[in-house]
Amino acid sequence: MENREQARDKTLITDPKKINAAHENVQLIEWEDFDNELARLWSLTSALKEANEKKQSLQEKLQSLIQVKNESLNKLNELEEMRERLEARKVVMANMSTHCKVATEDAKKQEEMLSTEVRSLLVAGTSLSVARNQGLSPSCSPTSLYLLLDKANRLLTEERGCVKLKNVQRKLRARQQYMISQVSLLCPVKILVGPAQEQELESYSSSSRLGNPSASKPVNQGSLAILGLNLTLLPFTKMSFFTDKKEVQRSATALGFVAHAVSLIASYLQVPLRYPLRLGGSRSYINDHASSIDPASSDLSLDTTLSANVKLAEFPLFLEGQDTTRAAYAVFLLNKDIEQLLNFIGVKSLGPRHVLANLKELLRSVQSSEYIDT
């Protein structure tokens, strides 16, 4: 390296052209101005250094701004893509909403058509029944009777007549069966096998729509439980100071569950209960319409007398703070409601003192395949 520098110095010194150029660019400075010129050069050097530092700082800031700008552009591009996807999804949702509205309108139209056809079928059936009852009475001519019978028979035998009505009835019973199966899941009636074991109550193989023969005996009422709660009827018939209060509370809670299940089943089967229920959990009540005619009101009309003297008696489905006779009668009325539902589907009751067994038989009968085929 030193040899190269020495060679370069020798070249600079010995080259005439470069010596002349150097002489031309040389500026002579007087000795008195040397300090000033040196200070000026020093200040210029400092200014140049500061300018370079500012240039470097500005270059770094500009680089960071460029990077931020690039990131911002990338975000804007991603946001634009997301907006495009959102608009596409909005279009899809609008199309789905349109299809849904069209399907809903079609379903409503079909429902209205079916309702009209069912009404016409019912009217035709009523007319047919009236015509058959009238026979060849003087008030009905043979020609009009023949036309009426022919119209009713055509409505019953056509494709959209009796067959469609039967299909609708099957669908209705299937829906009722599904809803009552949900009630069975909410309020299961089981037989307690052990202190910590439960087993589903076996269906009565000998029970049918003709009733229970003498050979089949219902399961012991004390072994049945609803949601794990036994229904003991002994406190309702014999209440004393030594009666277990917890047992009384458990029985009241179990009766509340039974009343709730019976109310739901009656609403799904569209059966108005003979003895209406007022639900309140373990403080539920059952109503009995007791009619009594006051002799003093014999001068009034019959309709006014009956409407004025029909009283609604309420009986508690619990014992705490109540008369045992009224509570026992309330349980009796509740069992009568279950018997009403059993008779509605064509099944006989298992007995007047088997509330849970009757409820279990009701749930089993509705969930059987025979219920839909009736």
pLDDT of residue 277: 92
pLDDT tens digits for range 16-55:
555 556 556 666 767 777 778 888 888 888 889 989 999 9
Specify if 282 maps to a domain: yes
Category of 276 on φ-ψ map: left (φ > 0), alpha (ψ -120 to 50) or beta: beta
CATH code of the domain in which 203 resides: 1.10.418
pLDDT of residue 202: 39
Specify if 19 maps to a domain: no
> Are 125 and 117 a contacting pair, CB within 8 Å?
no
Full domain range(s) for residue 222? 190-293+305-373
Specify if 333 maps to a domain: yes
- Tell me, what amino acid is at 176? Q
Q: At 273, phi and psi to the nearest 5?
A: -70, 140
Specify if 17 maps to a domain: no
Return d(Cα 313, Cα 290) in angstroms, integer: 7
Structural domains in the chain (count): 1
Specify if 125 maps to a domain: no
Specify if 196 maps to a domain: yes
pLDDT of residue 231: 78
User: How does DSSP assign 227-257, residue by residue?
Assistant: TTEE---HHHH---TTS-HHHHHHHHHHHHH
pLDDT of residue 155: 64
pLDDT of residue 86: 93
For the chain, residues with pLDDT lower than 70 are 1-27, 29, 127-162, 193-222, 233-244, 290-311, 374
Specify if 330 maps to a domain: yes
Specify if 128 maps to a domain: no
Return d(Cα 159, Cα 232) in angstroms, integer: 55
pLDDT tens digits for range 202-238:
334 334 444 443 334 454 544 788 888 877 766 565 5
pLDDT of residue 115: 84
